[in-house]
Amino acid sequence: MDLNLKTGGTNDSVSATSALQILKGITDSGFRRLTESEIVLLRQSKAEIAQRVRQLIRESKVKVG
């Protein structure tokens, strides 16, 4: 049973069963520890997001005040 899905202007043929099997494979893979480089990237992203949030808060206070 193939379903033709319209995604972003292209047609993709996907069966519901195969999509569920792909998702099952992702969730059944089990837990793994993050590598050191993944931890570094997460910390860097966290710092960049925090900096951007602080900047947006400052900018919103300037507009209001």
User: In which domain, by residue range, is 41 found?
Assistant: 33-65
pLDDT > 90 in the chain, percent: 43
49 confidence band (pLDDT: 50, 70, 90) = very high
Let me know whether 56 and 44 are in one domain.
yes
- Domain total of the chain: 2
Let me know whether 22 and 47 are in one domain.
no
**Cβ(13)–Cβ(1) below 8 Å:** no
Let me know whether 4 and 20 are in one domain.
yes
Let me know whether 23 and 40 are in one domain.
no
Let me know whether 37 and 49 are in one domain.
yes
Which ranges of 1-65 does DSSP label H, i.e. alpha helix? 16-27, 36-64
Looking at residue 2, its pLDDT comes to 46
31 confidence band (pLDDT: 50, 70, 90) = confident
Let me know whether 38 and 25 are in one domain.
no
Let me know whether 2 and 25 are in one domain.
yes
